[in-house]
Structure 1
Amino acid sequence: MLLEHLIPTRLRFRKLPPAAGGAGLRAYLGQHWQALLLHGVLLLAGVFSAALGLKGFLLPNGFIDGGVTGISLLISQLTGASLSLLIVLINIPFVVLGYYQLGRKFALKTLLTILTLAVALLLVSFPPLTQDKLLIAVFGGFFLGAGVGLAMRGGGVLDGTEILAVYLTRKLPASVGDIVLVINIIIFSAAAWLLSIETALYSILAYLAAAKTVDFILVGIEEYTGLTIISFHSPQIRRLITDQLRRGATVYECTQGFGTHGHQRLKVEAIFTVVTRLEVVGLTDEIHKIDPQAFVVMQSVSDMRGGLIKKRALH
């Protein structure tokens, strides 16, 4: 999962120009309330989708998930305790941790989202939609992952595990993904021992489906890709990017270090730009037309702010 999206996009208060007056203030407040409304809709949609994945697929068939939700499901199956109550109680320490690590607004959104999910699980009923275990694992994970992703888009989370992972990365020489992976290995190992190996395997499949769905919700098909282009025709390539594609480009000078003329230490310009994955093929084709020998390096970019880039539909 793209865990860096845990840190919510904050509404920044900008100084209004003197000429703006009351009209500028009203416009700013309108944007402020629009952003709050959008976040609220995303959080509610996330809660509904997660509740559907849990009550319509995973719960009736005894499957679990990773993270705090998985721990709650496992304890609920073993003890018969209320899942809604467990989700709230187990998440509270992580909400408190999120308050100190990521801010009051994030903690408040997360708490309200978790409480809404608990109420939805308690009061809303979803009929079991299928008896096929493979479909249950895949689509249960899909709807649960969609709920988690939509909640992240709204500035909160439905599971506190990622908050703990962000905190532990500052104490341990490990990444967020490594810590979440270790936590989930422990959870699924416990499920295999306490429930059954088959249940644990189907639960892992549900978790993988949820993780990929979260990535898709946060990144979408328009994943950002960074391109570094090294060519002796860099002026034409730069104009292609800025004038035709209407994207930003950074040009910096470097020295050729390898090749038939490497010993002459020829100067060459390198161009760095960021485009969406849908634009990569067209851009590289045009670069090839200008310089078939251009050296192009591509790397995935999880997220970015500012600059002349194509914006995703939701942020």
Structure 2
Amino acid sequence: MNPLFSKILIDIARKQLEKKQTNKPISKKQIVPLVRNLQVEIAHAIKEYIFIIIGVFSAGFGLKGFLLPNKFIDGGATGISLLLENTTSIQLGILLILVNLPFIFLASKTIGKKFAIKSIVAIAFLAIVVHFVNYPIITEDKLLIAVFGGFFLGLGIGMSMRGGSVIDGTEVLAIYLARKLSLTIGDVLLIINILIFSVGAYILSIEIALYAILTYLVAGRTVDFVVDGVEEYVGVTIISEKHEELRLTLTKKLRRACTIYAGRGGYGSSGESYEKDIIYTVITRLELAKLQTEIDKIDKNAFIIMGVVKDLKGGMIKKKPLKDEH
């Protein structure tokens, strides 16, 4: 690592410790884990923002290279923005921000402020890209527009999700409503998009609405391919020697419930089995990046198994409330 960068991290860690213990001397043993945590935070943040940047430029290409010049629409908040752009004189960049703002506010309440801030940055960046970047118009063939416009838009949405944010806020609304109603997140998204396409058929034309459905389907499949489905929970099994530290991070910092299995390692240093605790938790896809960051801070060599969870019932799926929350 660059010596100057290391010195900056050490100074930041020292200042954090000085705030916590004003009258006690600070040892190197205290600074080292803080510096390591900062290194992991920065590395993960860089990776996540690279995903977001790629996602924004991909979505911008789908919008300006295919959909926007040909008066096509899509589903979700992007579809609402495109529909309004076709019926008003307001520029698409402004509409993308205005339409997504209520969803981002909802995200700050249901998912977290960090996620909401990253999403605001991603949406604002997309608005800038759509307004200022001149993408070439690729084709005027309606089928190609629907298919490839949906592909690049879905790729952009998926990459942004991989970076821990959204550039289309309807997924957040769907997650919120699914918790309140007896519906799956997929059902809520379907209802929202049926309404958007119905309005599109009335205002524009039935043909445009039908192509919009095709665009939406392609975009949805692309998102599934990139992130394995935002509407699904992920079951995470963690096997680590530092299982107690990981358990405390899950329950105290991430406020997630977990289950501890009493397991046995099959091949120890002497070739014999040995006892070890195994952690299992269930989180949303949008929280996965944060969980991986926290695990890396504690044990980079932790063995992690992740699998999509199709159905959930009972238990503590939502975040545990803080003690000072009422």
Interval containing the TM-score (normalised by the shorter chain): 0.5 to 0.7
Work out which of the two has the higher radius of gyration on C-alpha atoms and give 1 or 2. Answer: 1
* Structure 1 counterpart of 2:197: 188
* Structure 2 counterpart of 1:11: none
Instruction: Quote the Cα distance in structure 2 between the aligned partners of 1:71 and 1:168.
Output: 19
* Structure 2 counterpart of 1:92: 101
- Counterpart secondary structure, 2:179: coil
Instruction: Quote the Cα distance in structure 2 between the aligned partners of 1:311 and 1:35.
Output: 18
Q: What stretches of structure 1 of length at least 5 have no aligned partner?
A: 1-17, 227-241, 244-301
Q: 1:19 Cα shift? A: 8.7
Q: 1:225 Cα shift? A: 11
* Structure 2 counterpart of 1:14: none
Q: Does 1:54 align with 2:66?
A: no
Q: 1:311 Cα shift? A: 7.1
Q: Residue type of the partner of 1:88?
A: I
* Structure 1 counterpart of 2:206: 197
Q: Residue type of the partner of 1:122?
A: H
Q: 1:216 Cα shift? A: 0.6
Q: 1:40 Cα shift? A: 1.0
Q: Residue type of the partner of 1:137?
A: A
Match of 1:178 among 187, 194, 219: 187
* Structure 1 counterpart of 2:145: 136
Q: Does 1:157 align with 2:182?
A: no
Instruction: Quote the Cα distance in structure 2 between the aligned partners of 1:166 and 1:225.
Output: 17
Instruction: Quote the Cα distance in structure 1 between the aligned partners of 2:235 and 2:305.
Output: 11
Instruction: Quote the Cα distance in structure 2 between the aligned partners of 1:132 and 1:169.
Output: 37
Matches within 5 A, 1:1-315: 20-219=29-228, 308-309=303-304
Instruction: Quote the Cα distance in structure 2 between the aligned partners of 1:190 and 1:63.
Output: 13
Q: What stretches of structure 2 of length at least 5 have no aligned partner?
A: 1-26, 237-265, 268-283, 296-301, 308-326
TM-score by length of 1: 0.65
- Counterpart secondary structure, 1:170: helix
Instruction: Quote the Cα distance in structure 2 between the aligned partners of 1:144 and 1:129.
Output: 14
CA contact under 8 A between 2:94 and 2:127: conserved in structure 1? yes
Q: 1:156 Cα shift? A: 0.6
Identity of aligned residues (%): 48
Instruction: Quote the Cα distance in structure 1 between the aligned partners of 2:192 and 2:235.
Output: 30
Instruction: Quote the Cα distance in structure 2 between the aligned partners of 1:186 and 1:120.
Output: 28
Q: 1:25 Cα shift? A: 2.7
Q: Deviations over 1:31-55 (max 9, x none)?
A: 1100111111111111111000000
CA contact under 8 A between 2:146 and 2:215: conserved in structure 1? yes
Q: 1:78 Cα shift? A: 1.2
* Structure 1 counterpart of 2:320: none
* Structure 1 counterpart of 2:298: none
CA RMSD, aligned part only?
A: 2.9
Instruction: Quote the Cα distance in structure 2 between the aligned partners of 1:75 and 1:61.
Output: 15
Instruction: Quote the Cα distance in structure 1 between the aligned partners of 2:28 and 2:34.
Output: 11
Q: Deviations over 1:250-291 (max 9, x none)?
A: xxxxxxxxxxxxxxxxxxxxxxxxxxxxxxxxxxxxxxxxxx
Change (3 A) 1:219 1:176: closer
Q: Deviations over 1:40-74 (max 9, x none)?
A: 11111111110000000111111111011101101
- Counterpart secondary structure, 1:107: helix
TM-score by length of 2: 0.62
Change (3 A) 1:225 1:157: closer
Q: 1:191 Cα shift? A: 1.0
Q: 1:20 Cα shift? A: 4.9
Q: 1:85 Cα shift? A: 1.0
Q: Residue type of the partner of 2:77?
A: V
Q: 1:174 Cα shift? A: 1.1
* Structure 2 counterpart of 1:7: none
Q: Residue type of the partner of 1:187?
A: I
Change (3 A) 1:35 1:90: same
Q: How many residues align?
A: 224
By relative contact order (CA 8 Å, sep 6+), the higher-ranking structure is 1
Instruction: Quote the Cα distance in structure 2 between the aligned partners of 1:218 and 1:168.
Output: 21
Q: 1:308 Cα shift? A: 4.3
